[in-house]
Each structure stands twice: as structure tokens, then as C-alpha cells.
Amino acid sequence: MKKEHKDIIKKAIRDIEDFPKEGIVFKDITTLLNDGKAYDLLIEHLAHRYRDYNLDFIAGIESRGFIFGSSLATKLGIGFVPVRKKGKLPYTTISEKYSLEYGVDEVEIHIDAFRDVKKAKILLIDDLIATGGTAYAACNLINKAKAECVEVCFIINLKALEGDKKLKDLAPVYSVLEF
């Protein structure tokens, strides 16, 4: 990606100091979403990157991964699969648990999410990676569904939290921006 394009995308992301708690600088992507030029540059970049991957589906992690994933899937002419929190999908699901700071959470996909595609090639996408727990569970879930997670993509990687390192044993990791 050209540096000037990366700069446009980076400038479109708003920093919110002390959210959700003191000492945290929240990366707000809503300002990227409502900047047509920056959002188009991002989706065009991702489409160019993944055009020759021969992907069968894009899986997006709830909820911001839905936005980027569905836009990219449409651009590539392939299907989109939502990875949702437990209890949000109406049909039979498979699930994967993951640890939180205080407790456990779970993500799910429909049992037929990848239809009858044998060893479907999947790109997993989300807006941001911090500690990597949710993405790790989602990647495991894709493998559990007998598909192949060919790469995990994030718009933002918070490098200091090293979540990307947790994923590297499961699939390659790509980030558009690093903070």
C-alpha cells in the first residue's frame, strides 16, 4: 500500500482518550467508515491483496468484522460468514470458547457456514487485534469446521499487546496499520 494511502486511512481513525477506561486510547473506526475516500482506499487495497488467494469465503468477527468483511466479500464476489457471540445464530452451530480477563466467552458459526465446499479457503477479518483471544478462537472455529483459515486480517494491530504472535501458529497475520 502506498504510504499516502495508508496516511489517509490512518488519519480517518479517531483516537478517544481514556475509553473505555482511564489510560486507554481507543481507536474509533466509525470516522473511517464515514469517510468515503478513506474507506474506499482500504477496501480497494484489501481486494487487491486478496484477489489471487482463491478464497471461498470471508469470515468476519462480530461486529466490526462484519462491516469490513461483507464489503470485501462483495468486492471479491464471494460469500460472507458471520462469526458471532454465543446464542446469536438461529440455526445449528459449532462453537469455540476463549478466555477473557475475568471468565470465558464463546464464538459460533452455523454448522453449514461453508456449505459443501471441501476444505474451503477462508480469510478471517476484524477491525483490530489487541490480545488476540477472540481471533484465536475464531480461527480455531474455522479449522473445526474443516475449512482452512488462509490468513487473518486486521485493519489495526496494537503491536504492544502481541495478539498477532498468538495467531501465527494458526495462520499468517496481516495488518493494514500498526500502532
CB 152 within 8 A of CB 135: yes
Within 10 Å of residue 30's Cβ, how many Cβ atoms? Answer: 12
State the catalytic residues: 64, 101
For the chain, the first-to-last Cα distance in angstroms comes to 16
Give the C-alpha separation, 52 to 123, whole Å. 12
CA angle 165, 168, 173 (to 5 degrees): 95
Query: Which runs of E-coded beta strand occur in 21-133?
Result: 25-28, 57-61, 79-85, 93-100, 103-110, 121-129
